[in-house]
């Protein structure tokens, strides 16, 4: 399982990255307020404008999940500033089915 969160300004390029790499199983939570380790808080207020997007991805193949994590790390290397960095984490699912 991958959980990815990013500034809304990075949402479309991230989705493009997923689509280009044939990731078809993901959910998007839009307008997520957040404080990250790096960058400015985004609480969608006058003081802290903006918000994040969160994307959840399920994988039946741990290797494939690792490949996507690598791509996200590469994506971050080209970030314009710390506010455009993608935060990602992963964990193992005990069960995943779609039957």
List the Cα angle 29/27/72 in 5-degree steps: 90
Residue 32 β-bridge partners: 52
What is the pTM for the complete model shown? 0.91
Over the stretch 10-61, which tens digit does the pLDDT of each residue have?
999 999 999 999 998 999 999 999 998 888 999 999 999 999 999 999 998 8
Query: Which residue is listed with tokens 């971050």?
Result: 76
Single out the residue of 97, 88, 65, 86 nearest to residue 9, CA to CA.
86
> Residue 65 burial (CB < 10 Å; 0-12/13-18/19+)?
buried
What is the three-class DSSP state of 65? helix
Over the stretch 54-94, which tens digit does the pLDDT of each residue have?
999 999 889 999 999 999 999 999 999 999 999 999 999 88
Domains and CATH numbers, the chain: 2-90 (3.30.70.120)
């Amino acid at each position: 399982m991958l959980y990815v969160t990013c500034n809304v300004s990075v949402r479309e390029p991230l989705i493009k990255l997923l689509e280009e790499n044939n990731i078809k199983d993901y959910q998007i939570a839009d307008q997520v307020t957040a404080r990250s380790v790096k960058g400015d808080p985004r609480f969608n207020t006058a003081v802290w404008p903006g918000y994040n997007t969160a994307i959840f991805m399920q994988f039946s193949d741990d290797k494939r999940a690792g490949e996507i994590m690598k791509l996200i790390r590469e994506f971050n290397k080209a970030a314009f500033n710390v506010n455009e960095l993608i935060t990602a984490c992963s964990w193992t699912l005990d069960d995943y089915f779609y039957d």
